[in-house]
Chain A
Amino acid sequence: KAGVTQTPRYLIKTRGQQVTLSCSPISGHRSVSWYQQTPGQGLQFLFEYFSETQRNKGNFPGRFSGRQFSNSRSEMNVSTLELGDSALYLCASSLVGQDIYGYTFGSGTRLTVV
């Protein structure tokens, strides 16, 4: 079966702009989580959506937001981009958010802010 698909794979944006990243989870998975990975801070949890509702949120400013659609696809938006937002953004899906089979991650979107 198809894995978690993230688009685009690479993105270059200018400071002050906004960006929208997309994630299509594995078919049947209802939970989608987003993570930011940087060399300095490592992997950090952004938020999780389940059945179109944000269920959990990490410690990130309000410039980071997301949503989930009825087909479980999710988008993440970052407004007023800063240089420090340059990172690999990863999406993970699971059946219900917590299960013994873990989360399946996509390959990520590499965002570069210049």
Chain B
Amino acid sequence: LAKTTQPISMDSYEGQEVNITCSHNNIATNDYITWYQQFPSQGPRFIIQGYKTKVTNEVASLFIPADRKSSTLSLPRVSLSDTAVYYCLVEEGGGADGLTFGKGTHLIIQP
């Protein structure tokens, strides 16, 4: 049973705000939600992590509703360089037993 479900692909345009939603219906009390970004032939890059409510850093925001069964990664004013695969991970204690990556969302930004 997959831990997370997210869209296979999304398209948007430069300057737009992009929201990628991830479903994790079986999230456990000790699980954290983490998002990674990956460009071709590179390792994933940590974007943001949260447990509940809202987390914001210099590159993204993460919205987590009270029931924690889903989360939304928000990328403000995207550019062409944001074209990448985005992975939503749900891991106990932030990944102590190794990270489980799903298929990810291939985000394509057009001019």
Q: Which residues of B contact A70 (CB under 8 A)?
A: none
Q: Which of A91, A101, A107 contacts B46 (CB 8 A)?
A: A101
- Of the residues B32, B45, B98, B104, contact of A105 by C-beta under 8 Å: B45
Chain A residues 33-85 with CB under 8 Å of chain B are 33, 35, 42-45, 47-48, 56, 58
Shortest CB-to-CB span from B99 to chain A, Å, is 6
Select which of B42, B49, B87, B102 is within 8 A of A108 by beta carbon: B42
Closest-by-CB residue of A relative to B101 is: A43
The size of the chain B interface, using a CB distance under 8 A, is: 23
What separation, in Å, do the CA atoms of A114 and B53 have in the docked complex? Answer: 49
* B41 interface contact, C-beta 8 A: yes
Q: How far apart sit A82 and B34, CA to CA, in the bound complex (Å)?
A: 33
| A–B Cβ pairs within 8 angstroms, 16 of them | A35-B99, A42-B102, A43-B99, A43-B101, A45-B98, A45-B99, A47-B98, A88-B41, A91-B43, A92-B43, A92-B99, A97-B95, A99-B94, A102-B34, A103-B46, A103-B95
Which 4 pairs from chain A and chain B are nearest by CB? Answer: A105-B43, A102-B46, A45-B98, A43-B101
Which B residues contact A (CB, under 8 angstroms)? 32, 34, 36, 41-46, 49, 87, 93-104
